[in-house]
Chains A and B, each alone.
Chain A
Amino acid sequence: MLGQIAYALPFLAQGFAVTLWVSLLVVVLSLVAGVMMGVGLVYGPTPLRWVVRIFSDTIRGIPILVLIFFVYYGLPAIGIHLESFWAAVLALTLFKTAQVIEYLRGAVGSIPKGQSEAAMAIGLTFRQRLAYVIFPQAFRRFLPPWINGVTDAVKGSALVSLLGITDLMHAINQVIGRTYEAMPLYILGAVIYFAVNYALSLASRRLERRFSFIRE
């Protein structure tokens, strides 16, 4: 039994690399999209606010699995052909973007209005106000929940196995298909996911403590 599992380890490692790659892509892409849309939600003109609000509330209101199937099966139906890997990344990114929008809204919203007004009074432009006054202060509110949310991206990435992408979850199921050693392999998989996510949540807790001393 152990021999069979040891034999499968390189294959599992490849799957794990795909899990990390998907998670990294989703985290980076959603950070960019989410911060831009979040700024749109807080400072944008009313129509833009509505669009972002509806986007965020719709995405966060449906199961991530439904979103994955919708993107994967739905896009080819309307003539957009994406590789299954990119369809999965797109779906997970949409989901995570909606979360990032809410983290940003919460972080920026926690900055007292006087800060913005003071920045305006000394003649800073909108970009300068964001870059020098709002974002540096909002950053410490944004970071802990965001890092904590990275664990959601890693956990969510396990769903891409349903599209036949050989991530860690799919690799485990394939090895079980060959060896019939279901329990040891699922436990091994759980331990790997746990190690990554627990490290991330410890980091987030440490950051939170690090930033807590300046809390008003």
Chain B
Amino acid sequence: MGYALNFNLIWRHFDKLWGGLLLSLELAVISIAIGIVIGLVLAVWYVSAGRVVRSIIAAYVEFIRNVPLILLVYLVFYGLPTVVDLAYSAQTSFVATLSLYSGAYLVEVFRSGLEAVPRGQIDAGKAIGLTPWQRLLHVRLPTMLRITLPALSNTFISLFKDTSVASVISVPELTYGAQWINFNTFRIVEVYLVVTAMYLLTGYALLYALRLVERRFRAAH
């Protein structure tokens, strides 16, 4: 083996990793926020729509879920500008891609949650004279949210990890920072050990925070 660990160069360039982690989180938060809007709107639409709309939404979901994320990232960044007259940065391009990607996964989560809302609750809402909008806002969405929270947490964490794919179009997030240090200092094992720890700590911190939210949510009802 004969490999001596030396972390000095990693600490000297740690700003690349720290800044990278913050950017990873930023990419994840913005994309997930847009993804939640896409997911909610399409899921609510799906459960009350006719056959045509349903198949269009299903086509979007199935297409995104069955194609590698890296291909979608390339397609939006390198492919799309050749056919439409748009100019955007790599970062914007990645956020757009991950938003569409997370939207597809979240439609599925929200849809199965909405379908799991007990019929009796909706009927009870009707019985006390709530309008369809009020039933959606005060009965179906809160119950759906409670049902889907565990699945939502897992999806969020997995989307946070997916931000690493942004490195392939040179968005300077955490994985890109790791590669930069890898190629410029050759402290390869060290940098990936540190980056592994950073992803793990952030991921589990997120998971812990989301579990707390879940518990509060359950206690509140």
- Which residues of A does B touch, CB under 8 Å? 58, 61-66, 69-70, 73-74, 77-79, 151, 154-159, 161-162, 169, 172-173, 176, 180, 182-183, 185-187, 189-190, 193-194, 197-198, 201
**Which residues of B, 56-113, contact A by the 8 Å Cβ criterion?**
62-63, 65-72, 74-75, 78-80, 82-83
Residue ID in chain A nearest B75 by CB atoms: A186
With A66-B164, A182-B79, A186-B75 already in contact, the answer to whether A156 and B66 are too (CB < 8 A) is no
Instruction: Check A62 against B75 for contact (C-beta < 8 Å).
Output: no
Asked if B148 is at the interface (CB within 8 A of a chain A CB), the reply is: no
- Least Cβ–Cβ distance between A167 and chain B, in angstroms: 10
- Least Cβ–Cβ distance between B158 and chain A, in angstroms: 9
Instruction: Check B71 against A73 for contact (C-beta < 8 Å).
Output: no
How many residues does chain B have at the interface if contact means C-beta atoms less than 8 Å apart? 41
Q: Which single member of B62, B63, B74, B189 contacts A77 (CB below 8 Å)?
A: B189
- Which residues of B does A touch, CB under 8 Å? 1-3, 62-63, 65-72, 74-75, 78-80, 82-83, 161-165, 167-168, 175, 178-179, 182, 186, 188-189, 192, 195-196, 199-200, 203-204
Instruction: Check A158 against B71 for contact (C-beta < 8 Å).
Output: yes
Q: Which single member of B79, B182, B199 contacts A183 (CB below 8 Å)?
A: B79
Instruction: Check B203 against A61 for contact (C-beta < 8 Å).
Output: yes
Instruction: Check A66 against B79 for contact (C-beta < 8 Å).
Output: no
Instruction: Check B200 against A74 for contact (C-beta < 8 Å).
Output: no
Cα A201 to Cα B67 with chains together (Å): 12
Instruction: Check B70 against A183 for contact (C-beta < 8 Å).
Output: no
On chain B, the residues within 8 Å of A161 by CB distance are 70
Cα A185 to Cα B69 with chains together (Å): 16
Q: List 19 A-B contacts (CB under 8 A).
A: A58-B200, A62-B200, A63-B175, A65-B165, A69-B179, A70-B196, A73-B188, A154-B68, A157-B68, A162-B168, A169-B71, A173-B74, A182-B79, A182-B82, A186-B78, A187-B79, A190-B72, A193-B67, A198-B66
